[in-house]
Amino acid sequence: CEKDVLIDILTQRCNSQRLMIAEAYRDMYGRDLITDLKDNLSHHFKEVMVGLMYPPASYDAHELWHALKGADTEEKCLIDILASRSNMEIFQMKEAYLMQYNNDLQQDIDSETSGHFRDTLMNLAQGTRMEGYADPSTAAQDAMILWEACQRKTGEHKNMLQMILCNKSYQQLWMVFQEFQNISGQDIVDAINECYDGYFQELLVAIVLCVRDKPSYFAYRLYNAIHDFGFHNKTVIRILIARSEIDLMNIRRRYKERYGKSLFHDIKHFASGHYESALLAICAGDAEDY
């Protein structure tokens, strides 16, 4: 079957090899491979095959554009991408967004979201997080600011909360979270969940979880998408493609450790046909993980 061949070729190559295939395809046939995939495939299988053909930054830009400009804003997509990407990934994503859609990502976030959720997304989209820097002498001070922000919940305190979570380095935040526990006797995720709600709360928690362990965060998101939302296809596809050459092996490991069944097993249980085959090919690994 041609679809089986397509799955084999596109899932067994890295992204740079797929881009070379697309270039050779254009040279040989004078046609655009992505356009032909869109015209000849359908449903979720098409989304997977087309998604694999984008460079990582272009894929993030594509997902953000549809999350912002679709019929309904997909806040969880915005959270997954912007809470987890490095400064360099955000810079490349913004460049790709501008090139592909002739729009400024931050302007679109500003116009399509609102409140402190918007402010936090805008901060993350600047890509100005400190990197590799940690100052133990200020960790307790930052932790106290976070604790007060959870107690008082004024607009000013929410701003300070998001400024610390969006701009301090991961190394610094590790120490801040430990100090927060010492000061309050409470884990910061529990405190945020108690004090805030809505997408603002979800975004803050996502940032904390990504600081602690990105593979665990994405394992949680995949489990959530598969089991709590009756297999939320867009989320499963997006995470598998976006993380396939970054940390998918670690995500699979965390998934098995945390939930008892492998990601491979759960996809096999809920998906079907060539769509299932494509997803399984992306997340395939050692036989004992199945």
pLDDT, tens only, 145-202: 999 888 887 778 788 899 999 999 999 999 999 999 999 999 999 999 998 989 999 9
pLDDT score, position 244:
93
Model pTM score: 0.93
Same fold, 58-128 and 214-271: yes
pLDDT score, position 45:
95
CATH number of the domain located at residue range(s) 136-212 in this protein: 1.10.220.10
| Residue 72: pLDDT band with limits 50, 70, 90 | confident
pLDDT, average across residues 3-14: 90
Class of 214-271 in CATH: mainly alpha
Superfamily of domain 58-128: Annexin (1.10.220.10)
| Residue 230: pLDDT band with limits 50, 70, 90 | confident
pLDDT score, position 289:
53
pLDDT score, position 80:
97
* Domain segments of the chain as ranges: 58-128, 136-212, 214-271
* Residue 126 and residue 165 in contact, taking contact as beta carbons nearer than 8 Å: no
Is the pLDDT reported for residue 256 higher than 90? yes
pLDDT, tens only, 15-25: 999 999 999 99
